[in-house]
Amino acid sequence: MEGSQVYDRAEYAKRDFWNDRFTESQGYFDWYAGWKELKSTFEQAFGKEEGKQWSFLMVGCGNSKLSEEMAKDGYE
C-alpha cells in the first residue's frame, strides 16, 4: 500500500484497509495535507491577530501531527 496511491472508494470503508494502512505506515500520516501546506490558508481565513484565539476540533485526526503543529503556532 503506497501513500500516494488512490484506492476505490469502497476500499476506504473496509476495516482491513485501515488496519493494513496503519500497520504498513511508519511515523505520522496526514490524510490531506500537513500544516506546512495549510498554514497560509488558515492565516488568510482566520488571521493571526494578537490576542485573538480560534479553537478547532480535529475530527478523525488519526496519527497526524497537524493539531500539534497548529498549536505550536497559536491555534488551539
For all residues of the chain together, what is the average pLDDT? 79
Q: How far apart are CA 65 and CA 46, in angstroms?
A: 20
CB atoms within 10 A of CB 66: 21
| CB-CB contact of 33 with 70 (8 Å) | no
The pLDDT confidence band at residue 2, using thresholds 50, 70 and 90, is very low
pTM to 2 decimals? 0.58
Q: Where are the domains of the chain?
A: 28-76
Per-residue confidence (pLDDT) for residue 5, from 0 to 100 = 65
